[in-house]
Amino acid sequence: MQLLVRFEAKDCRDMSRPRRGGGRRKPSAVKHMESEDLTTRSVEVARFWHSAYDELVKMEEQLLSQLEEMLPKLSGAARREAELTNLPMISEHLQTFKYRRAHWHERVESLNGRESSRA
């Protein structure tokens, strides 16, 4: 079965207009991060979040590396779009996750110091 979609002139005008950000709402991850208890007294919770952000940093670094390998192989238009949208988004996520991981690393260290001083 073949699906045919009617192409209208107005579609062409819309496609030529630069679109940034995709019109997406704030991701739920931001809302979730805001709900983290940054002052938790539980070393287990702090370790959990440190580990989670460590995984996310590694994933974003891999994505960034893959994108950088692919950029030279893309057409000029595709490369330009990736450089304007994908690259900054991945870089922003990576930076955010590194900041969060650093916070949780410090929190784990702080809680470990507090626990060892109780013994």
φ/ψ bin of 3: left (φ > 0), alpha (ψ from -120 to 50), beta (otherwise):
beta
Question: Average per-residue pLDDT in the chain?
Answer: 80
pLDDT at 10: 43
Question: Cα dist. 50→27, 30, 53, 99 in Å?
Answer: 21, 17, 5, 11
- Residue 17's pLDDT band, with cuts at 50, 70 and 90, is very low
- pTM higher than 0.75, yes or no? no
pLDDT at 115: 60
Q: Return the HEC string of 61-109.
A: HHHHHHHHHHHHHCCHHHHHHHHHHHHHHHHHHHHHHHHHHHHHHHHHH
- The answer to whether the CB of 43 falls within 8 A of the CB of 112 is yes
